[in-house]
Structure 1
Amino acid sequence: MSVVVALDSFKGSLPAAAAAAAFAAGWREVDPAAELVLRPMADGGEGTLDAFAAAVPGAERRPVRVRGPRGTAVDSSWLLLPDGTGVVELASTSGIELLGDDRLPWDADTTGFGQAIAAALDGGVIRLVLGIGSSASTDGGSGMLRALGARMVDADGRDVPAGARGLAAVSAIDLTHVRPMPAGGVTVLSDVTNPLTGPSGAAAVFGPQKGLTPADVAVVDGVLERFAACIARHAPGADPLLPGAGAAGGTGFALAAWGADLVPGAERVAELVDLAGAVGAASLVVTGEGSFDGQSAAGKVPAFVHGLATSRAVPVAVVAGRIGADADTSGYAHAVSTTELAGSAAASMADPERWLRDAGRTLASRRG
């Protein structure tokens, strides 16, 4: 029996590679004869840099210190591939995990992500691949743009503060000195297809998990709309309705205005690790992430892996830290929640490797 384990990271608990390894170890305890094929996945969010580093021989990490989402220094890195491509991940520079349990809905921003991009440009990359999931902010990518040379001022000509708070005061934007893209262009790996604004936009859908109240959401949505109008004066092709423009609190929109191409992150990472080849020879595919819920169907790793496997008539199981009430598990042969196995979310997150091993044992027993 061949089992492909294509898990995303369990956000706040385990990176994808460690999650896959723990699950596989549990499966082997029950079924040691099975062939476990590990294909750790990412979709542009946390773990994207690791996925490229593991899949591309000769990839080199380049350390960089940036301003994190709370305004303090963060030690991070970007990846230089042998062909001259630079890979930069928003999650490790401006990501929500860097805040711990705190949320700074009005003040967190993407400056660190922009600084890491600038470091890659300084390093002479000929092309950029940018992963933009797991953002801590809803700043429209303004911090990133400022780190690349943009200036944003209020009605009195003063530079505005960071984050959504600063966007609310923006009167004019100068993109004259924004750094040019590398010659090979910029590809953005996004885990969502949401537009910038509106009921499916960055503030409405993702703002609450970043700390925005219902009243805040309405205000920030309007702020992003005005920000988009200011950007459009300099970049007429910038479209707030572009699928993925709302990714990472609107960073997708800012990158599109820079001239970048937005693509589905899971699909590109799957190509990198030859997931299709592994799935084609599998008896079962296991996918999952930390929280499997209604949002998982829109561009996340489980949805992509499910589609790939079912197109090849291979059954799929999902393993998640939690399975939300709004999750659709109808197309999965099995669904296992480590929260249910552990008895509580706190217990599951306190020892995620233990409960992923238990999930491996549980699924192996069901298959037996």
Structure 2
Amino acid sequence: MGLKKVVPPPPPSTLLEDLLENAGGCAVIDGGFATQLETHGAAINDPLWSALCLIKNPALIKKVHLEYLEAGADIIVTSSYQATLPGFLSRGVSIEEAESLLQRSVRLAVEARDEFWDTVKGRPGNEYNRALVAASIGSYGAYLADGSEYSGWYGEDVTLEKLKDFHRRRLQVLAEAGPDLLAFETIPNKLEAQACVELLEEEEISIPSWICFSSVDGQNAPSGESFKDCLDVINKSSRVPAVGINCAPPQFVENLISKFQEWTHKLIVVYPNSGEVWDGKAKRWIQPSECFGDDKFELCARRWHKLGASLIGGCCRTTPATVTAISNALKGRSS
């Protein structure tokens, strides 16, 4: 018997590698975007969710990006999570305008990043990094707006090819808009992870990507499939240097980082929600006892980094204050 061939882990992208080095080994992702839009009075209880502001109030989107940059985010994620071509078309928007709105999501983030960096880079003792812009690509379930990104069940007629067809043009448009990264978010099953990986290969996308899953039990993907099986699909791709978890309860994160460490050599990304639960009938957030405040995020961010996470932030119901707490924890500043 010959020796087993050892396949070295794929190198992270130069951009991510440089950012992580400048950030001391762990970069800070921003927090809940829709949460902050609502803080400013935006009405987004709509199938387009935060993407509605791309049409109605793009200036507010830029304002929120700037707030997260001021809070210490090293990576800001665009407002395109629920921005899809079919979603816009269903509102009577032309295909040309729909594609323009997707491009706008990247442009607003890039403009905010560049303006902020021009302001702070010359400050004495500047502790900020020049942030990267990650174009958000929400799951098929996010477009359906029926909660299926948290069940993984899309129906028997949803095939690999259908998922690729759904994502393809949006991916092309967002990539052409010039983000630094691509962020596939709240992926609920192995099939959609495979669709994302195959699309990146077919379209020869050179922009580094991360693929993040949701989880409802802290053990498996929402579909019930093991994360090991899901990661096996992603591990084959050199175009995806990072994998992780987003919009899952924060109490799940520690265990999942440990598991991901066993199953992948890729960078690990975690940006959980606050632990609050959305009551769809009452249209309100419920705060269970496991809900994390900013002080707990600060404590846990250190722990998550020690366990192996390289990119840490927040998702729904987290705020710039949460990101400041995470940034303080990871960069050794007092709160």
TM-score for both structures, normalised by structure 1: 0.33
Higher normalized strand content (fraction of residues):
1
Greater Rg by CA: 1
TM-score for both structures, normalised by structure 2: 0.35
